[in-house]
Chain A
């Protein structure tokens, strides 16, 4: 079943059209990846789903309900959470406060405490540093915190923007393992935007290739990684 569906979405920054009509569907319980180069429109797609950008045309449906009429915080309340690009943690708040901010839309104290423990089980390093200012964490830890913070809202869909950006290869592996685990163990639906197509296709079920605002190809992860065109353009082969 389609949990999230994007229909013929067109988004423009002033006169420049960033998305020239893209359509994609995210099925419940899958990892869907959106791969493409710089400026292809990946981040724009995520920001539009989160309500940060208003489309010129097209529609976004969540469980059949159009999201366009909602404001960003209402979309978060519906269970769609965005992990922004570049590990944007609240630098001058502690790790714990960052996680609490993630649960901003919730008010069930017990549930929040329980979820915080879950995040700490997932990322034990965050527990050690729970009273440290987030700005003093290492890059990998900040990315863990950004993911943990998003999980605190108990999302239905996780929108992840380039979690591998600026991280050392070994950390990228670790983060991607976590993403896979979240999907497999908790059944979380994930829309993963990545430039690192190789890694993304390893953990995703299906994928879309986006180029200059248009969907160029789509298929299962396996199909895409064996597709000669994808191999040439994105996998360095």
Chain B
């Protein structure tokens, strides 16, 4: 048994301190504090600070526990204390040093948040107490057996999520229940306890009964598993289709968000074919989205006299196949020059292609045809007889159908002959060719299929917005789509959905994120790659590769070792 890891704990404490100082000074803490999670108890900004402490204290505790179980708690507490002390110093120095002149975010409000609404000594004491307690709590967590720890952590996370997503749930729930659980910006204290208790029970059961149930289902013969599987698919489908009817008018905001997520899911499914299945890194994917959207816009708008003089105005349904065709062809056109390039070079070319398309639609030169910087307005809505789509709920159905088509295409292609050829090209293009795969046709179909799905997504996007501006098609969209694939798990279809919700849905719901979206994005991606490189919902193959069976590289014997050299 060694001594108490004092230096190491202090080191982690300083690390946590730097993290929380950074978050305070860039303004994240203050911005996030506008949202309360639990009434009068904790705001999102404070939660952010505590989370940073919890994570680092947990890491420190994990190391200290090897020496002595109690050291875990001490070590965690010390991490919290050190980080808290740094924050306290900041809070106390902001005013006397006039730090605001340098750090615009070092405001009196920040001081108030850091000191938990108290002042002077009382505030510092409170800050130190909260931070130390959080650290100790993380240490205690380490000591708990996993069977208890996991439900506890999950329940906490689920409750916090419900607090964060107040805007959804408070609207959806019946009024009385909603009043009891939620305030205008977060949970009530009663709500906190209710949710904690509820989730605690749910996750405890899951850990024991749920896991056993899962195991039993898995051990059933496949013939008996299939009806169960289909039942669960049918339930999910029924829920998805029924949701607008259940929620009615109250759901407008939710469907607005779901529509955006859905548009990204369609794009994600398309890019998943290109990058996930065929391994062709496309950084200009937004171009096909833009081409689909602009084809829809230009063909259906009453404006743009020059175009109208040649092509008559079309309806949504007339323009849709043309939008798909245009994006499909552009996929092939991009595909041809990049056939011979690989990896990094391919990424750069596609990046350039994306920029070309964006600049073209923005240009004054093409303004009479594409609307230039002002974009296009008066784009047609989908119609059925007299009915036309107007609410987010209406578009939700279109998007749902498009996602279903995307899923169907992906599932069917994945294990088909073509899917195998994509996989082979992704693994080793030379050998794939040597096995008789026509790499030209194979790569072009990947580009074309991906581009068509992006075009479909773009066409729906244009119709939904009614009007469109070129700035909707910047590089960031390509990157977002790629990131959602990585976060969800490259090549995995459910991963696309999970990734889209995590990277598009959450920021949309947490408007406070908006300013810090890239920062949070970056941090989340770094954390993902370190902790769960295979993604949130990965393909089984990917897990096997990264976790269970490390790929062996057999050493090549030195030259001259070959037999026959005498």
Asked whether any CB of chain A lies closer than 8 Å to the CB of B517, the reply is: no
Contact B430 A133 (CB under 8 A): no
Given contacts A90-B427, A90-B431, A166-B556, contact A71 B563 (CB under 8 A): no
Q: Point out the residues of chain A lying under 8 angstroms from B412, CB to CB.
A: none
Q: Point out the residues of chain B lying under 8 angstroms from A153, CB to CB.
A: 435-436
Contact A169 B563 (CB under 8 A): yes
List the A residue with the shortest CB-CB distance to B428.
A88
Q: Can you list, as one digit per residue, whether each of A69-98 has a CB less than 8 Å from chain B (1) or not (0)?
A: 001110011000111100011111100010
Q: Point out the residues of chain B lying under 8 angstroms from A93, CB to CB.
A: 423-424, 427
Asked whether any CB of chain A lies closer than 8 Å to the CB of B557, the reply is: yes
Contact A101 B424 (CB under 8 A): yes
Asked whether any CB of chain B lies closer than 8 Å to the CB of A50, the reply is: yes
List the A residue with the shortest CB-CB distance to B549.
A136
Asked whether any CB of chain B lies closer than 8 Å to the CB of A196, the reply is: yes
Asked whether any CB of chain A lies closer than 8 Å to the CB of B391, the reply is: no
CA distance A130 to B550 in the complex (A): 17
Asked whether any CB of chain B lies closer than 8 Å to the CB of A6, the reply is: no
List the B residue with the shortest CB-CB distance to A164.
B562
Q: Point out the residues of chain A lying under 8 angstroms from B557, CB to CB.
A: 166-168
B535 to chain A, nearest CB (A): 15
CA distance A90 to B426 in the complex (A): 9
Contact A149 B564 (CB under 8 A): no
A167 to chain B, nearest CB (A): 8
Contact A90 B552 (CB under 8 A): no
B429 to chain A, nearest CB (A): 10
Q: Point out the residues of chain B lying under 8 angstroms from A236, CB to CB.
A: 564-566
Contact B564 A72 (CB under 8 A): no
Contact B552 A135 (CB under 8 A): yes
Contact B433 A73 (CB under 8 A): yes
Asked whether any CB of chain B lies closer than 8 Å to the CB of A207, the reply is: no
Asked whether any CB of chain A lies closer than 8 Å to the CB of B23, the reply is: no
Asked whether any CB of chain B lies closer than 8 Å to the CB of A233, the reply is: no
Which one, A136, A172, A197, contacts B551 given CB within 8 A?
Answer: A136
Asked whether any CB of chain A lies closer than 8 Å to the CB of B177, the reply is: no
Contact A88 B564 (CB under 8 A): no
Given contacts A104-B421, A172-B562, A196-B562, contact A72 B551 (CB under 8 A): no
Asked whether any CB of chain A lies closer than 8 Å to the CB of B554, the reply is: yes
Contact A172 B563 (CB under 8 A): yes
CA distance A135 to B546 in the complex (A): 12
Q: Point out the residues of chain B lying under 8 angstroms from A91, CB to CB.
A: 427-428, 551
List the A residue with the shortest CB-CB distance to B544.
A133
- Chain A to chain B contacts (Cβ below 8 Å), 11 pairs: A50-B434, A73-B436, A73-B438, A84-B431, A84-B434, A92-B541, A104-B436, A139-B554, A149-B435, A166-B554, A236-B566
Hey, which bits of chain B sit against chain A, CB under 8 A? 417, 420-421, 423-424, 427-428, 430-440, 541, 544-545, 549-552, 554, 556-557, 561-566
Known: A72-B439, A92-B427, A136-B551. 16 other contacts (CB 8 A): A52-B434, A73-B433, A73-B438, A84-B430, A91-B427, A91-B428, A101-B420, A101-B424, A101-B435, A104-B421, A135-B551, A166-B554, A166-B557, A195-B562, A196-B563, A197-B564
Hey, which bits of chain A sit against chain B, CB under 8 A? 50, 52, 71-73, 76-77, 81-84, 88-93, 97, 100-102, 104-105, 132-133, 135-139, 142, 149, 153, 164-169, 172-173, 195-199, 235-237
Question: Which 6 A-B pairs have CB atoms at the shortest separation, nearest pair first?
Answer: A198-B564, A76-B436, A139-B554, A135-B551, A166-B556, A105-B436
